[in-house]
Amino acid sequence: MTYVFQQLLNALQVGSIYALIALGYTMVYGILTMINFAHGDLFMVGAFFCFFAAIFLNLPFVPVLVISMVGVALLGVVIERCAYKPLRQAPRVSAIITALGVGLFLENFTLALNPYPKQVPQLLANTTWIFHGVSISSIALFIVILSLLLMLMLDLIVRRTMVGMAMRAISWDKAVVPLLGVPVDLIISLTFAIGTSLGGAAGVMYGLAYPVIDPYMGIMVGWKAFISAVVGGIGNIRGAMIGGYILGALEILVVAVMPSTYRDFVAFVLLLILLIFRPYGILGKPHPQKV
């Protein structure tokens, strides 16, 4: 029983990180119907911002988190303005290719700047409590709570504020909403900023939990988060959160009962099976094609 609780805690930790990144994918998809394949690499950039802020500026945790989130958000907006905005009217494939290109650029640029894996310093004191045989590290607990807080904030923004209302309106109908005086470009940029800053926060948390970071770490984590978004129903914010935790739990389950090399295999097979039986994800709604 203690073993189950222990694994549950691990699953929550991994799932929180997936869920935070998946939110970025799903928000951009919801508003632009475009898969931002560079998002996983923005997560990686977030981890590197965290590293630089901690090493060169010697900052404590909270400023490091703020710097990473703001830095990644700015980068996300710049990418959106320079690379994606001119392609809004182009065929969707162009935007997907551009996103892949931007992702590769970020990976290789980071690699060119610092060729070796880096070690993120310990920003928070890590104490471990033993509770009925289950060891709870303060960092794991912290990651879970912080990500839940961030998700709660996001949910409030999307559901309760004017900006959130504009976001939902744009994803509902792109043609009419500008006529009603909604500044579409600004809202899209804001969506990118919020989505990517969550990715940046996930990067910092990843750095806390698994301190060795390298420029290619965004690929696999990014794809996994993307799967989470698809599993939850891409374009659906609560779906992305649920999807992240489902995938996290599943991965931990696989590692617990099978050799760990099967982890990725199972994750992707799950995706395929789900897509065959429920192509629009758990919370997604089918949108039939009209002539």
Q: Which positions lie near other proteins, rule CB under 8 A?
A: 35, 83, 86-87, 90-94, 96-98, 100-105, 108-109, 111-112, 115, 219, 223, 227, 230, 259, 261-262, 264-265, 268-269, 271-272, 275-276, 279, 289, 291
Q: How far is the CB of 102 from other proteins (least distance, A)?
A: 6
Query: Of the two residues 148 and 275, which places its CB atom closer to other proteins in the complex?
Result: 275
CB 91 to other proteins: min, Å: 5
Asked if 208 and 124 touch (Cβ cutoff 8 Å), the reply is: yes
What's the closest the beta carbon of residue 136 comes to other proteins, in angstroms?
32
What residues contact 44, with CB distance under 8 A and at least 6 apart?
106, 107, 110, 203, 213, 215, 216, 217, 218, 222
Angle among Cα 249, 252, 253 to the nearest 5 degrees reads: 85
In whole angstroms, the minimum distance from the beta carbon of 215 to other proteins comes to: 10
The answer to whether the beta carbons of residues 22 and 244 sit under 8 Å apart is yes
Instruction: Name the percent of the chain in helix, strand, coil, to the closest 5.
Output: 75, 5, 20
Q: What is the DSSP letter of 212?
A: E
Q: Nearer to other proteins by C-beta: 100 or 124?
A: 100
How near is the Cβ of 224 to other proteins at its closest, in Å?
A: 10
Q: Are strands 212-213 and 118-119 parallel, antiparallel or unpaired?
A: antiparallel
Assign 258 to helix, strand or coil.
Answer: coil
35/53 with CB nearer other proteins: 35
- The half-sphere exposure of 155 on its side-chain side, counting CA atoms within 13 A, is 14
Nearer to other proteins, 112 or 175 (CB): 112
List the one residue out of 257, 199, 256, 205 whose CA is nearest residue 228: 199
Please name the residue that has the structure tokens 């989470």: 228
Cβ-based nearer residue to other proteins, 17 or 230: 230
Nearer to other proteins, 35 or 154 (CB): 35
Shortest gap between Cβ of 78 and other proteins (angstroms)?
13
